[in-house]
Structure 1
Amino acid sequence: MAELAGAARTEGARLDVPGLPDTRRLLRLTREAAARTAREPARTAENRRWLTAPGADTPYGIPLTAFGPRDASGRIPVRDFTGGRHGGRRPALPFERHARVALLWTIQDRRADWLRAGQALEHVLLVAARHGVRTSVPHQAMEWPDLRAEAAGPRPPGRFPQLLIRFGYGPQGGRTPRAAGGPPAR
């Protein structure tokens, strides 16, 4: 975790690993954000647009085979892009008892900080992959301003949450198609 935090610092961001009470709080905020999103037809429609329908011959979108299982206990929220369509109900499996998460944040919240956070995320994910650590990005709470602010927790000024990252070990995920030459012309 120290090496992951160092990777974020190299890019101008910070990566904090919360204790159990704050981890539970962050996962609760993520579940609340997921529930809000599920109640908003426009947001669930947008999520579904990211999917590639079974049998579709396109290199763009997320195939259903790329999604992992749901947590059987319901403690750890997993993003559902399907909105219950496309037969997208994934199997429920037991997850770890206590999730290991980290909050990626910056000291300001300008466009340049968003870029720093993206570069830090990429660096952190590469370091995690080098160590065989699987990652997921339960970012739902970052999409709602009030929940994003609450994700910062009691904080001094100058701490802006950008992303929540979950770390762990598990099976290799499904492959996703790669485009041959780049996005289609518009």
Structure 2
Amino acid sequence: MTVASPAGRNAIIALSQAADRRQRATGGYRAELARWTIHRIAHRDGVPPTAIGPWDALETMPIRDFGLLQPQLNRPTEAFEPYPSIMVLATAGDDAAAWLTAGQALQRVLLTATWHNLATTPISQPVEIPAIREQLTDTRKGIWAQMILRVGYGRPAPATPRRPLSEVLETGRADS
């Protein structure tokens, strides 16, 4: 995990905004947001309205807008920090083992940030668009960007529902 310099942060924000615009212009993207928000009651999964925070009045950093399809939410706008702290999680390699390593590292970073009362926001748009991800990746050094995080202080958010442990953890072996 690397903290971006001011110049790097500005470049990452510009790439994130470009990726966000590209995704918002895609019908499949809007349909996926709808599956995770509007239809969540039927599936018990997804993002409840109570977890959809305020909108960044400055629109400095694109955030995954789970309220995009729910105009009835009447979300307030707030002035977020104009110069957010941005971290890049990268791996040596870009295969299944590297992705697993990235997930484990991300888990540690998120838990450590929570322990220190820091708020984190995943900014995955730039790594979801291959052409933009390439600009965050240095293949000559064997480094591939896997995730972008905004880290800082924020107001506590309400807890979101979780599935019961019995639905997500296998406790026995399946017979052959």
Instruction: Give TM-score, length-normalised by structure 2.
Output: 0.86
SS in 2 for 1:166: strand
Deviation at 1:28, TM superposition (A): 1.1
Distance 1:71 1:86 in 2: 16
Could you tell me which residue of structure 1 aligns to residue 26 of structure 2? 40
Could you tell me which residue of structure 2 aligns to residue 123 of structure 1? 108
Q: Given residue 17 of structure 1, which amino acid in structure 2 is its aligned partner?
A: V
Identity within the alignment, %: 32
Whether the 8 Å CA contact 1:102–1:166 is kept in 2: the answer is yes
**Which aligned segments of 4 or more residues in structure 1 are displaced greater than 6 angstroms?**
none
Could you tell me which residue of structure 2 aligns to residue 29 of structure 1? 15
Q: Given residue 157 of structure 2, which amino acid in structure 1 is its aligned partner?
A: G
SS in 2 for 1:160: strand
Q: Given residue 109 of structure 1, which amino acid in structure 2 is its aligned partner?
A: D
Output one character per residue of 1:59-97: Cα deviation in whole Å (capped at 9) or x when no partner: 311112112212111112111134333535632101112
Unaligned runs of 5+ in 2: 169-176
Alignment coverage as a number of residue pairs: 167
Deviation at 1:23, TM superposition (A): 0.3
Asked if 1:168 corresponds to 2:140, the answer is no
SS in 2 for 1:179: coil
C-alpha change, 1:48 and 1:88, in structure 2 (3 Å) is farther
Instruction: Give TM-score, length-normalised by structure 1.
Output: 0.82
Answer 1 or 2: higher relative contact order, Cα 8 Å, separation at least 6: 1
SS in 1 for 2:146: strand
C-alpha change, 1:136 and 1:37, in structure 2 (3 Å) is same
Deviation at 1:155, TM superposition (A): 6.8
Q: How large is the RMSD of aligned CA atoms in angstroms?
A: 2.0
Whether the 8 Å CA contact 2:38–2:70 is kept in 1: the answer is no
Unaligned runs of 5+ in 1: 1-14
